[in-house]
Structure 1
Amino acid sequence: MGIDKKRAREHKWRISESHLWVVCLLFGSAGIGAGMYYFRHKTKHISFRLGVPVCFILHVGLGVYYFMFY
């Protein structure tokens, strides 16, 4: 998020939203969420404001399930 925010300010090539979603879905939701609010980047996008916490909850749930039953 920090790199994309910096590139946005400098009017340079940006990281695509689909790439950010792939990182989020591959267990990067905590980092994406923290970076989103730390850098105040993508916080106006409703898909990120709702989707990142949902991904985080799913990841925590999967982790709890894994450690409880395996």
Structure 2
Amino acid sequence: MTAIIAIYLLLANIIAYSLMTYDKKLAVKGRRRIPEKTLFGWAAAGGALGALTAMRLRRHKTKHASFVVGIPLLLVLNAFCVYFLLTIIR
């Protein structure tokens, strides 16, 4: 069960990172963007670390207070949920 959680989190973070990176490319090109709801959704679904990493490395959404505050809070929530799940499994 622990392996399933790890694989899920890995995939969620890869997707969140990829979406943030792709959204940055779309922004630079002036094209239609990925909805913020989608970016936050993947962060909330376990991909907050990937989203935060993309924010820092790609310098994307770093001037938006909702992302600067929201993504780190979701990371804390993600960590709590993982801890809770791992505690229940034992």
Structure 2 counterpart of 1:22: 41
Structure 1 counterpart of 2:72: 53
Q: Secondary structure at the match of 1:13?
A: coil
Q: Secondary structure at the match of 2:78?
A: helix
Aligned length: 70
C-alpha distance in 2, partners of 1:69/1:18? 30
C-alpha distance in 1, partners of 2:36/2:87? 34
Q: Which runs of 5+ in 2 are unaligned?
A: 1-19
Identity in percent: 33
- Structure 1, residues 24-64: CA drift from partner, whole Å, max 9, x if none? 11111011010011100000011101111111111111111
- Cα deviation for residue 14 of structure 1 reads 0.8
Q: Which runs of 5+ in 1 are unaligned?
A: none
Coordinate RMSD, CA, aligned: 1.0
* Structure 1 length-normalised TM: 0.91
Q: Which has the higher helix share?
A: 2
